[in-house]
Amino acid sequence: MKKVLAFALIAVSLLAGCGEKKAEAPKVAFQSTDLTGASFARDFALTDHNGKPRTMADFKGKAVIMFFGYTQCPDVCPTTMAEMSEVMKQLGPQADQVQVLFVTIDPERDTQKLLSEYVPAFDKRFLGLYGTPEQTAAVGKEFKVMYNKVPGTTPGSYSMDHTAASYVFDKQGKIRLLLRPGQPASFTVHDLKLLLS
């Protein structure tokens, strides 16, 4: 009876030890908003600025940063793209495992030619993506991106109100993070290194 009791006490203490170790296991701590397990932003069908049809599957094996904007945006779009360029510099050789995508929400004005000049100006590895107004609307809905036209003084001088955050996807193409506009490049670099490790 004493042996059984002693064995039971040892078993309980071992189980308690296991429980404590599990509780102490390091949790992945992202600097950005963690969207792991979200059921939106699963895929898209657009064309890149070289004229090649693209889906998320084309970038499997790379972390993907996706930003929705337009080339005539005066503030948040060029600022975000410049920040992404800085992120790539800070990543060094690991930058080759990251794909930045700029999705236009202004297909009326953002032609393939315009995107091919605008997007690679920030980093030659960046890709601009565009679609028909219908394709753009479908992608906006799937990715929960809001955008709408704000009339200007002439029909062609309108601006676009739009969601200013960026999404990050892991190497399997699953949504993982939301990057807030203006967050430090070091936060994004930290999080990308976690996803790439």
162 is in an annotated binding site: yes
**Cβ 158 vs Cβ 151: under 8 Å:** yes
Q: What angle do CA 31, 37, 40 make, to 5 degrees?
A: 105
CB burial of residue 196 (10 Å; 0-12, 13-18, 19+): middle
73 is in an annotated binding site: yes
- For every residue of 65-90, DSSP letters joined together read EEEEE-TT-SSHHHHHHHHHHHHHHH
77 is in an annotated binding site: yes
Pair of tokens at residue 15? 């189980």
- Which residues are known binding-site members? 73, 77, 162
- Which residues are known binding-site members for Cu cation? 73, 77, 162
